[in-house]
Amino acid sequence: MRLRRTLLVLFGLGLALPLLLFWFWLERTMLNQEIVDASARHQVTARTLGASLERYHKEVKSGFQLIADNIGSEKGPSNLKAILKGLNFAHMSLVDLRSGFVDWQAGMAGPKITVPFPAQMLNVLRVYADGPDPRFSPVMRGSDGTPSLFMVKRLGTRLAIGELKTDYIVSLAKSVEFGKTGHAAIVDHEGNVLAHPLEPWVQGRRNLAMVSAVKRVLNGEHGGEVFRSPAFQADMIAGFAPVAGTGWGVMVPQSMADLKAGAKESRTFVFLMVMFFVLLTAAIALVSTTLVTAPLAALSAAMRRLNSEGPGVRVDAPPSPLEPAEVRQAHEAFNAMAAGLEHSETKRSEHQEEIRLPDALPKAPEKGAAPASQLIHV
């Protein structure tokens, strides 16, 4: 293998391999960092939604308390229907626990209910009426068949019941949407869906209490977790936070595929940068090896010519500031050697010429000898 090719391979491996290894490491790091960042962002969003729901709950609770405490009193608010509508109550009723009949009602769009309040629902709501403060029931089917929450408070032998529609809760969850799968989901204190991107799950009040993230948020935890989504059948990363005073939970999940796609876009950019530096490295290696091998090639050619043409050969390479000093010294040593050989060859030739010169001169005849023309051959 030629020296230039060997140096190119060594330069390429020495400079390109670290860059490629860096790219593989960065790819893994970028995905992990994307997961960490997404978890942090989703937790912030979940806490923000939780704070909004907490304020809404306080407003609903205060309005309900005000009305319940002043039913039949002149101190009660005059614009009762407007207050109920503003808080998203469909209606508010006062039910006699002994007979089950509605004694008082406000906000109902249609005629006043004169039949007994549904006994099964009344038995469920009675459980949540114990205690000094109004409390929410789990999400249930409302008077119009759509999901509703019922706020209840016991007033002696009667039960104050307010049917709260979940429109505000649903609209709040819908305001969170990002990426291809990022969304918000809200559950009540039993894990039943209050808001979710899948409308059938909202209308069917799907229970998600067995989902690991929902379990944790119903226990009052807040944080982030990767879990398997039963809705999307995909691994999701979610931030979650409880809603103080209600027992509800807010989850803000996003599919891992979304994060991988985002990391892939960044990875493509980094890969292009790495390839640019690899090509730059190759160019630097090519120039560097040329600086080293070109003068050596000239020296090698001169040595071959010295063998065939004689000692008059010289390395005729113009000096360069980028040429290695060792190569320049090798050129000078070769030229000095060739000059020495040429000088020695000249001296040897002159000496041989001096030796041949006396033999070439004519010799004088010996004294008393006859001329060659007078010799007689017998």
Structure confidence by residue, pLDDT tens digits, 266-302: 666 667 777 777 777 777 777 777 777 777 677 777 7
**Distance of alpha carbon 44 from alpha carbon 37, whole angstroms:** 11
Query: What is the pTM assigned to this prediction?
Result: 0.67
Highest mean pLDDT among 101-105, 182-186, 322-326: 182-186
| Mode of pairing for the β-strands spanning 158-165 and 140-141 | unpaired
Paired tokens of 251? 């989850």
**Residue 336 burial (CB count, 10 A):** 10
Give the mean model confidence (pLDDT) for residues 357-374: 55
For each of the domains in the chain, give its residue range(s) and CATH number, in order of start. Answer: 31-52+168-256 (3.30.450.20), 63-166 (3.30.450.20), 262-356 (no CATH)
**Distance of alpha carbon 294 from alpha carbon 333, whole angstroms:** 17
Asked whether the CA dihedral 159, 160, 165, 169 is positive or negative, the reply is: negative
> Of 227, 214, 222, nearest to 256 (Cα)?
227
Instruction: Check residue 156 and give its pLDDT.
Output: 87
Counted residue by residue, the chain has a size of: 378
**Residue 227 burial (CB count, 10 A):** 18
Tell me the three-class secondary structure of 40-59, residue by residue: HHHHHHHHHHHHHHHHHHHH
**Distance of alpha carbon 36 from alpha carbon 218, whole angstroms:** 23
Buried b (16+ CB within 10 A) or exposed e, 159-193: bbbbbbbbebbbebbeebeeeebbbbbbbbbebbb
- In order of 302, 339, 352, the CA distances from 343 in angstroms are 18, 6, 14
